[in-house]
Structure 1
Amino acid sequence: MERHTVDDLGAVLGLAAVGEALTARATVDEQGYVTGWSAGAEHLLGYAPTQILGRPAVSLLAEEPAASDLPPFRDLPRWHGTLVLRHRDGRRVEVKVLAHHRTSYAGVRDWFLVSALSGAPPRPDDDALTQRGFLDSPCCATSVHDTALRFRRSNRSSRGALGLSDDDLRGLRMTEALDDPVSGEVERLMRLALETGEPQYLENHARAPGETREHAWSVHLYRLEDDDGRVLGVASTGHDMTEQYWARKRLQLIAGAGRRIGSTLDVTRTAQELADVAVPDLADFMSVDLLVSLDEGGTSDDVEAGAAVGERESPSEASAAGRRSLALRRIAHQSVYEGSPEAVVVPGEVDDYPEGSPPVESLRSGRAVLYRVTEPAIADWVAQDPLRTSRIRDFGFHSAMTVPLSARGTTLGVAVFARHRHPDPFQQDDLVLAEELSARAAVCIDNALRYTRERGTAVTLQRSLLPQGLPEQAAVEVASRYLPAGARAGVGGDWFDVIPLSGARVALVVGDVVGHGIHASATMGRLRTAVRTLADIDLPPDELLTHLDDLVARLATEAEGAERAPGDGETTGDVGATCLYAVYDPVTRRCTLARAGHPLPVVVSPDGTVDLLDLPAGPPLGLGGLPFEALETELPEGSLLVLYTNGLVESRGAAIDDGVDRLRRALAAPAASLDTLCDKVLGAVLPQRPTDDVALLVARTRALDADHVASWDVTPDPSAVAEARKNALCQLEIWGLNDAAFVTELVVSELVTNAIRHAEPPVQLRLIHDRSLICEVSDASSTAPHMRRARTFDEGGRGLLLVAQLTQRWGTRPTPVGKTIWTEQTIEPAEP
């Protein structure tokens, strides 16, 4: 076992102090053996170190304490009590012992025992020592007051805080010695402590006489009594906690900034949130300026004097000194005064900052800088600007900080913090805080700028893929609205379309692609193109949705493959969509509709009745394997057919049924026009900030007058061709369309001849006088004709080619019992 005296290790343990012999010290290991022994211990018990080291410590006890009086030492960090020990000469010695359970310098656990020799009795000069300790305390401002709350005595710190000596203070009350509203609250709590005997506590902020900086104080107030319980007065003890107070305020400000800055993806609002956080807790005025180059979606990574993006020469400077300026746009500012009267630039305005000005220097160096207004950097700058000079003079600006705003290696702009009402100038800690706030805001501003650029691209793509103008047609009167989602959701894939069809019919389409962003917009464009292509071949609504479902399924498969493929590009995400497709015929006033996972359309009858059209439910596009069903219904002339996407009626925190009810109520109210009705619907149904895209399409049905339609059954005999031509020419004469007689006669002759020769009865000829002249021949065969170029000696093959050359459009559409071949001719309005 290693043996040593405690005195030998004094230097190592830091115990070699003055008066070493006045303290008895020993160490005992965990097994209870004495491992250290000091000169003071030898003086106390008479044992030399060589006589006691290595012996059990219990051998020193004159009597063992009762087991019930001893705690479990192994778990204690410290123990103190009285032990009765045996002196070497045999007498009993009662000793007060303080034992520390510690890890020694050698890294082992042991007990360190100390005892003041003879109990260290009070000394005559203790009272004087205590008094000087009170009077000379450098960090605790203490004063004592009599029962009338008047000063009796103060220590040096208290006198320094009040700026008065004891002779000046004695007999005064706190409210008389300190002209500050906080003194009244201190006196109130003094009286409360004096009357109740309960200590009182408060934190206050006061400025000592002759000081410009306000201090934060932690004040304790307590009653003073003598040994007999007689009340002598009250004492106040104050700790200057200014640094801790401001550190706490800075932490609170940073925590608040984390909650408040970046609540949206709006650049202006984010900048304003930074200004709102900084004023008034940090600055009296604060501004945020961004580089003008960011207006065009660019960035500025190289802000160098004379070469910065956004720099330009002002005419006056170019002619006078040839100095360049940096163009910055004011995004936001805030002031302790309403309306920010200190500002020389209004939000949205561009100002030129000359080379050498603090904002430009901060941007060029990339460092935050602290200035006094009297420094040459500011004095030279404002000397060129009379308005800034007057603002500094009128409001009394005395210090400022400029902090560059940068994120992800991109320079965005500069934040300027200034003080004029707050008497304390900015300190280095304030600059660190301003940098922290600006760094947080810069990341949020950069996010907002990136989002704004991406969203602008997506909106532009979305709008370019939507109809730029609704086509002219006579079947329905239409009005539409498209609203992109709010900032957080991003642009989606909602779309609508109006597609003229053969036979004066029209197709109405509304769809919604899953997701948001550019990928959703691009998918929407592909689906809209596919719908128009499928509509061009006159597929029925249920068949069209079936083909569209196959397309979406293929797009989803392509997207999955793109996600699995290696690369750094963004993933396309899930591909899916809903769609509603309707075809309205103004001749029969019949409407055929089918839907794929889409909300039900609304029909408003001419008498104002509003009903949901109960279409068969179809699965969303892309699931595959499930059929779509169509519904055919008659719509009286003047009916409203309302198609929309779910963004109109669905919102967070509200049931879709509530949105549908609001929609029905809005549609029931009369409106001067369809455009007015669309606006009323959006205002009544949508929340202030929609979370999803909204597409709305309202169509008022028209009916084609019976006088504008003529039809004849054709006998399946070649001789019936002449009769068909005759009937057509007579009808054209009735309509006043004699100029179209020649082409119509050729078309009727060709189409009726082909139907009789190659198709199956019954055969029907129909002429429709709408915006164009439509000629239709229907038969019971599902075989569609194909146009081909006839060779020199072919006897056939020239008919359809001739028809296509003479008419504007032609085509074939399937019918429930066969097909219809149709042509359209542009006609001049009939002369009165």
Structure 2
Amino acid sequence: MTQWSAGAKALWGWSRQEAVGLELADLYTADGVPRHKDGHTFDAPTQITALTVEDQRVGFLVMADDGAEEQALDNALMSWLFDQFPLAISINDGEARVLRYNEAMCRLTGLSEENVRARLPTEAVPGVAAAEDVRRVRRVAATGEPETAERFVKVPGETKAHAWAADFFPLRDSARRVRAVGCAAYDYSQQYGSRERLALMSEARTRIGESLDVTGTTQEVIKVAVPRFADAVSIHLCEVIFHGDLPAPILSGPVVLRRADPPPEQAGGKPAAPVETVHPESSRIARSLAADRAELLRVKASEIDRWFGDASGPAAGLPRDESHSLIAVPIRARGLTLGLALFLRYAPAHEPFSADDLTVTEDLIARAAICLDNARRFTREHGIAEALQRTLLPHGSTSHSAVETTARYLPAGAGAEVGGDWFDVIPLPGARVGLVVGDVVGHGITASAAMGQLRTAVRHARRHRAPAG
């Protein structure tokens, strides 16, 4: 051996002074496996190249590489990947003690890796969420099965909690034994919001429209939206809607609206009577209706009072100078504006409304508008049928030479559909009287009209003494 590099020294352990003069057999076993100075063998592929000068062989160049440099680079790359990965990652042992935090996890928790290493998460971040994380890490370590968690958490530096998701997964060695548990946490707000909006619309399709009453339909809208989507909802409709009529085609100038959701209770627990409110053309509600589009607004508590028309409503108790998130959506059906829906967020748990929320609100109110119009039409038809029925029924008492009768008609309930029920008292010859009670199958105007036809037919038959059939 005539030359010896620093790499050779690191590989075999011989210094340059010790190596010069050695034979190749001192560095390799009889089988050609590299042998260290202390006698242990190691794996290092070797290449031997002849050295020539003017076609004369003068020696050999021996090159060996154990891959340590490449392995060191691989290790560095993996370390950089762990530390610089944008998701917050931690590694915990089987008892859930922290082994490693990457930079994102340190930023997320506000703690350095040195402060948490070898400690349980509950020691560094007390709380229910951390305690559940400890139990989940221990389960994953024991079962080898990954788990996922979703929760609302307020992390250091944030003003309010929002949705986070975390994946817990086992870290196995080459023998498939669980040696540690990894955890990757990420902000889940966008996915959570999309899922909640889809769930909201799915529920709206099944729950809004069950009632054929205008006030009942507004209550269905509110129950779907509060509190999962908004902290307060108020629906204001044109007064004529409650009587089954359609409003004027164009809402211009002052607007007269009536709050369809129940107004606040008065002193003594009695509900306040519904009141029509005249909104001047310059008011925010009138301008919103005239704009004929949904609006996403930031409003203060004093403005909320004017929007909702209620000083003791959702703005009561809110700081007067804080801004809150409001969506105002015109309610349109049959090309006409029926009223205005207001959605408000003021609770700390809710983020302000976003553009996606605005789209969802428009879809929700589009469905509600159809259901409100159906309820309006039912109110109108119900009123017509009821008026027709009461016109055809006897009124007051009926005097006859043989008998005096009195009757009262009472529908089954305030919301019951008017049907074809009828009764009649028909004078007959010979001090006799005919009492008729009938029921036409069906409801509404058609049944009431059929009732009138049957009443006329029965009276005609009795007048001509036709046999009862």
TM range (shorter): 0.7 to 0.9
Q: In structure 2, what is the Cα distance between the partners aligned to 1:451 and 1:172?
A: 67
Out of 459, 462, 467, the position equivalent to 1:532 is: 459
Out of 292, 301, 316, the position equivalent to 1:391 is: 316
Structure-2 residue corresponding to 1:141: 88
- Listed as ranges, the matches of 1:348-387 within 5 Å are 348-374=274-300, 378=303, 381=306
Tell me the CA shift for residue 390 of structure 1.
Answer: 6.5
The answer as to whether partners of 2:92 and 2:137 remain within 8 angstroms in 1 is: no
Structure-2 residue corresponding to 1:329: 258
Structure-2 residue corresponding to 1:669: none
Q: Does 1:132 align with 2:132?
A: no
Q: Does 1:515 align with 2:442?
A: yes
The answer as to whether partners of 1:149 and 1:173 remain within 8 angstroms in 2 is: yes
The answer as to whether partners of 1:362 and 1:369 remain within 8 angstroms in 2 is: yes
Cα gap change, 1:303 to 1:122, in 2 (>3 Å) = farther
Cα gap change, 1:154 to 1:474, in 2 (>3 Å) = farther
Structure-1 residue corresponding to 2:365: 438
Tell me the CA shift for residue 527 of structure 1.
Answer: 2.5
Deviations 1:228-279 (A, max 9, x none): 6776533212243321111111111111111111102111111100001110
Structure-1 residue corresponding to 2:140: 193
Considering only aligned residues, what root-mean-square deviation do their CA atoms show, in Å?
3.5
Query: Using CA pairs below 8 Å that are at least 6 residues apart, which structure has the higher relative contact order?
Result: 2
Q: SS of the residue aligned with 2:158?
A: coil
The answer as to whether partners of 1:485 and 1:492 remain within 8 angstroms in 2 is: no
Aligned length: 396
Q: What is the identity, as a one-letter code, of the residue corresponding to 2:316?
A: R
Q: In structure 2, what is the Cα distance between the partners aligned to 1:214 and 1:329?
A: 37
Q: SS of the residue aligned with 1:398?
A: strand
Cα gap change, 1:279 to 1:334, in 2 (>3 Å) = farther
Cα gap change, 1:159 to 1:487, in 2 (>3 Å) = farther
Cα gap change, 1:333 to 1:385, in 2 (>3 Å) = closer
Tell me the CA shift for residue 282 of structure 1.
Answer: 0.7
Cα gap change, 1:177 to 1:541, in 2 (>3 Å) = farther
Cα gap change, 1:196 to 1:387, in 2 (>3 Å) = closer
Out of 150, 155, 163, the position equivalent to 1:208 is: 155
Cα gap change, 1:353 to 1:174, in 2 (>3 Å) = farther
Cα gap change, 1:435 to 1:333, in 2 (>3 Å) = farther
Q: Does 1:248 align with 2:195?
A: yes
Q: In structure 1, what is the Cα distance between the partners aligned to 2:342 and 2:408?
A: 43
The answer as to whether partners of 1:262 and 1:444 remain within 8 angstroms in 2 is: yes
Q: SS of the residue aligned with 2:316?
A: helix
Structure-1 residue corresponding to 2:50: none
Q: SS of the residue aligned with 2:260?
A: strand
Q: TM-score w.r.t. structure 2 length? A: 0.74
Out of 384, 402, 424, the position equivalent to 2:328 is: 402
- Listed as ranges, the matches of 1:441-590 within 5 Å are 441-476=368-403, 478-484=405-411, 490-537=417-464, 539=465, 541-542=467-468, 545=469
The answer as to whether partners of 2:263 and 2:274 remain within 8 angstroms in 1 is: no
Out of 259, 270, 291, the position equivalent to 2:217 is: 270
Structure-2 residue corresponding to 1:183: 130
Cα gap change, 1:147 to 1:369, in 2 (>3 Å) = same
Structure-2 residue corresponding to 1:686: none
Q: In structure 2, what is the Cα distance between the partners aligned to 1:259 and 1:389?
A: 27
Tell me the CA shift for residue 487 of structure 1.
Answer: 8.9
Out of 333, 338, 343, the position equivalent to 1:417 is: 343
Cα gap change, 1:197 to 1:500, in 2 (>3 Å) = same
Cα gap change, 1:535 to 1:449, in 2 (>3 Å) = same
Q: In structure 2, what is the Cα distance between the partners aligned to 1:281 and 1:387?
A: 22
Deviations 1:41-80 (A, max 9, x none): xxxxxxxxxxxxxxxxxxxxxxxxxxxxxxxxxxxxxxxx
- Which consecutive unaligned segments of at least 5 residues does structure 1 have? 1-120, 312-325, 546-832
Q: In structure 1, what is the Cα distance between the partners aligned to 2:415 and 2:215?
A: 15
Q: What is the identity, as a one-letter code, of the residue corresponding to 1:299?
A: L
- Which consecutive unaligned segments of at least 5 residues does structure 2 have? 1-68
Deviations 1:1-45 (A, max 9, x none): xxxxxxxxxxxxxxxxxxxxxxxxxxxxxxxxxxxxxxxxxxxxx
Out of 110, 126, 140, the position equivalent to 1:163 is: 110
Deviations 1:555-590 (A, max 9, x none): xxxxxxxxxxxxxxxxxxxxxxxxxxxxxxxxxxxx
Tell me the CA shift for residue 124 of structure 1.
Answer: 4.3
- Listed as ranges, the matches of 1:614-625 within 5 Å are none
Deviations 1:594-630 (A, max 9, x none): xxxxxxxxxxxxxxxxxxxxxxxxxxxxxxxxxxxxx
Cα gap change, 1:216 to 1:380, in 2 (>3 Å) = closer
Q: What is the identity, as a one-letter code, of the residue corresponding to 1:135?
A: D
Q: In structure 2, what is the Cα distance between the partners aligned to 1:152 and 1:300?
A: 69
The structure with more radius of gyration: 1
Deviations 1:394-426 (A, max 9, x none): 697722111111112121111111122234222
